[in-house]
């Protein structure tokens, strides 16, 4: 296999930087090294940030119509070539091609939302707020914004942020995950072809060194981070201390609560899709199924039936589930299975039995029953294909369990009782709720984000919150001298009041 070098994108062109460090990029389905990604040093970061600073000065003055046209062109190019992008994602991440295409189309939703920037970035106007005085507000771009993304959605997560950042007149420095950096460069090329001025969209490849350079740079106005909770907390604290606006989305442990009146076939299909899609490497994956009352054995039987036919293999081969991202991560997830057995949970389906030819990082779907809240398979975000079933007797116990979690990203309730669903929406302390919907990722016009340790900062991604995050508010109070309306009142040193 050819080993490519994956570098940065600076000022509208591929760029190698000066750092001598690099890291291997592997094909998780074969275990082969397919490329080496350059890891930026501080001076590389400074060069890329400087290019963004130069470009931001011009782009903030581009008309709304110009920005919107570039976004429409970007949308058309990515949509027409989405198979190319999906193939890059599958080759570096391992998820199935269908799943990768789904990720691209959910990312494109945000581009489509941002195409309406002419409507989204409007200010307000109050005529005659005081006699002869008008007031209006405007939202202006921040300047250079930093985006730091995780491995599990190399196209969609950056697209939660950069379409809105660019539409609102900012320049972007994206620091993708070093595990699957290819998608970012492909998207950069589409931006260039779409007519985005050089330097408005840049990619800085790297690890902690590149992240810290963005967090510390006085020229970077904001940070949008998505990744694990410990790093999200670190990024939030360090970037806030440097005076930046920060949104830092962290990890998750999502529960799916099943009431006794639920449609149990829908429950089983939904649990399998949400727990094992993308091999469980989704921040909205269901990792805990909370079965209320006597339905649990029926649910487990239905899960077993479905899992018996699930095909695990190379994501390009038309299977249902691909490999995990790295060998180390696969081994870590497998060690959680061992820990669950040792802690006394009942292993119903053992993913360690899966056999796929070659040296890929495979692990099959795993289901535990009789999991209790002190076990590590319950407390920890495993980020792999492991579903824990917890048995409770009542609705109240189920809600207590969900609300005791330090995370609050997503949750789902399965029921046919509208009153119970309404009460659940009201009581549960989680940012995104699905009612008979297992992966309740909001559409682009709403905002994505969790509560508690799943999000640091107060702004969620995309939707109206995204527009607010990437713009700064100004309010202008103006009087145009016109003696017939409001003659000057001369010297008046008291605090101004309205007339
Ligand atoms: P990660 O935290 O390891 O990495 C995320 C980013 O931070 C990467 O770009 C990485 O290079 C950088 N990074 C890693 N270690 C760092 C350090 N010590 N200092 C500075 N930067 C560092 O996360 P990951 O493994 O790539 O992604 C999986 C995690 O992301 C899971 O916890 C998942 O729940 C979470 N996630 C959350 C959401 C959400 O919306 N809340 C969405 C997707 C993924």
- CA dist 302 and 65 (Å) reads 53
Calculate the alpha carbon distances from 291 to 60, 271, 383, 413 in Å.
52, 12, 21, 10
- The domain segmentation of the chain, as residue ranges, is 4-250+454-475, 254-435
In short, whether 249's Cβ falls inside 6 Å of ligand 1 is yes
Terminal-residue alpha carbon distance, the chain: 77
In short, whether 407's Cβ falls inside 6 Å of ligand 1 is no
Q: How many residues does the chain have?
A: 499
The domain defined by 254-435 folds into Aldehyde Dehydrogenase; Chain A, domain 2 (3.40.309)
Asked whether the CA dihedral 386, 99, 428, 297 is positive or negative, the reply is: negative
Q: Strands 201-203 and 222-226, how do they pair?
A: unpaired
- CA dist 292 and 391 (Å) reads 6
Rounded distance from Cα 358 to ligand 1 centre (Å):
28
Tokens, residue 65 = 């119509």
In short, whether 35's Cβ falls inside 6 Å of ligand 1 is no
Hey, whose CA ends up nearest to atom 26 of ligand 1?
150
Phi, then psi, of 412 in degrees rounded to 5:
-130, 145
- CA dist 360 and 350 (Å) reads 18
Q: Which of 25, 227, 330, 460 to mutate to test the pocket of ligand 1 (most atoms within 8 A of CB)?
A: 227
In short, whether 222's Cβ falls inside 6 Å of ligand 1 is no
319 as an active site residue: the answer is no
**Whether the Cβ atoms of residue 276 and residue 385 lie closer than 8 Å to each other:** yes
Largest CA distance in the chain: 88
Q: Give, to the nearest 10 degrees, the angle between helix 97-115 and helix 82-93.
A: 130
In short, whether 19's Cβ falls inside 6 Å of ligand 1 is no
Q: State the DSSP code for 101.
A: H
Q: What is the pLDDT along the chain (499 residues), one digit of tens a residue?
A: 568 999 999 999 999 999 999 999 999 999 999 999 999 999 999 999 999 999 999 999 999 999 999 999 999 999 999 999 999 999 999 999 999 999 999 999 999 999 999 999 999 999 999 999 999 999 999 999 999 999 999 999 999 999 999 999 999 999 999 999 999 999 999 999 999 999 999 999 999 999 999 999 999 999 999 999 999 999 999 999 999 999 999 999 999 999 999 999 999 999 999 999 999 999 999 999 999 999 999 999 999 999 999 999 999 999 999 999 999 999 999 999 999 999 999 999 999 989 999 999 999 999 999 999 999 999 999 999 999 999 999 999 999 999 999 999 999 999 999 999 999 999 999 999 999 999 999 999 999 999 999 999 999 999 999 999 999 999 999 999 887 877 777 898 999 888 8
Tokens, residue 37 = 């990604």
Residue 145's nearest CA partner among 131, 133, 160 is 160
Tokens, residue 142 = 């921040």
Rounded distance from Cα 141 to ligand 1 centre (Å):
26
Residue 258's nearest CA partner among 387, 409, 443, 350 is 387
- CA dist 266 and 271 (Å) reads 8
Question: ipTM score here?
Answer: 0.99
The domain defined by 4-250+454-475 folds into Aldehyde Dehydrogenase; Chain A, domain 1 (3.40.605)
In short, whether 328's Cβ falls inside 6 Å of ligand 1 is no
- State pTM to two decimals: 0.98
Ligand 1 closest atom vs CA 449: 40
- CA dist 253 and 402 (Å) reads 9
């Amino acid at each position: 296999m050819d080993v490519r070098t994956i570098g940065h994108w600076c000022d509208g062109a591929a760029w190698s930087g000066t750092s001598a460090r690099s890291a291997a990029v592997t094909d998780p389905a074969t275990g082969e090294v397919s490329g080496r990604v350059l890891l930026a040093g501080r001076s590389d970061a400074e060069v890329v940030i400087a290019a963004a600073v130069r470009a931001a000065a011009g782009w903030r003055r581009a008309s709304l119509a110009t920005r919107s046209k570039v976004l429409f062109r970007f949308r058309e190019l990515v949509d027409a070539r989405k198979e190319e992008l999906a193939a890059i994602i599958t080759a570096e991440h391992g998820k199935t091609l269908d799943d990768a295409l789904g990720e691209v189309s959910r990312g494109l939703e945000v581009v489509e939302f941002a195409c309406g920037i002419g409507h989204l970035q409007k200010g307000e106007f109050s005529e005659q707020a005081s006699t002869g005085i008008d007031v209006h507000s405007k939202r202006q771009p921040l300047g250079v914004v930093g985006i730091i993304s995780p491995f599990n959605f190399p196209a969609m997560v950056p697209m939660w942020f950069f379409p809105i950042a660019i539409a609102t007149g900012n320049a972007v420095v994206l620091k993708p995950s070093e595990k699957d950096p290819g998608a970012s460069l492909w998207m950069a090329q589409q931006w260039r072809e779409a007519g985005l001025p050089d330097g408005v969209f840049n990619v800085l490849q790297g690890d902690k060194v590149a992240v810290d350079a963005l967090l510390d740079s006085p020229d970077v106005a904001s940070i949008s981070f998505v990744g694990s909770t410990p790093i999200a907390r670190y990024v939030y604290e360090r970037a806030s201390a440097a005076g930046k606006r920060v949104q830092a989305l962290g990890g998750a442990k999502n529960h799916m609560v099943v009431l006794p009146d639920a449609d149990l076939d829908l429950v089983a299909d939904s649990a399998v899709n949400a727990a094992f899609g993308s091999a469980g490497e989704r921040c909205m994956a269901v990792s805990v199924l909370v079965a209320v009352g006597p339905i649990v054995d029926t649910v487990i039987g239905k899960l077993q039936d479905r899992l018996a036919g699930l095909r695990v293999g190379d994501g390009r081969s038309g299977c249902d589930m691909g490999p995990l991202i790295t060998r180390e991560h696969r081994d870590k997830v497998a060690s959680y299975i061992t820990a669950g057995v040792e802690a006394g949970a009942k292993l119903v389906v053992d993913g360690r039995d899966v056999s796929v030819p070659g040296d890929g990082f495979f692990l099959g779907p795993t289901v535990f029953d009789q999991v209790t809240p002190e076990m590590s398979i319950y407390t920890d975000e495993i980020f792999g294909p492991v579903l824990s079933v917890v048995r409770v007797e009542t609705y109240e116990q189920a809600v207590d369990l969900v609300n005791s979690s330090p995370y609050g990203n997503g949750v789902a309730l399965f029921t046919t009782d509208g009153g119970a669903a309404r009460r659940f929406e009201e009581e549960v302390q989680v940012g995104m709720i699905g009612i008979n919907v297992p992966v309740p990722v909001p559409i682009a016009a709403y905002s994505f984000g969790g509560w508690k340790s799943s999000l640091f900062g107060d702004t969620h991604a995309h939707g109206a919150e995204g527009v607010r995050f990437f713009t700064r508010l100004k309010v202008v109070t103006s009087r145009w001298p016109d003696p017939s309306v409001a003659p000057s009142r001369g010297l008046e040193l008291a605090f101004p009041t309205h007339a």
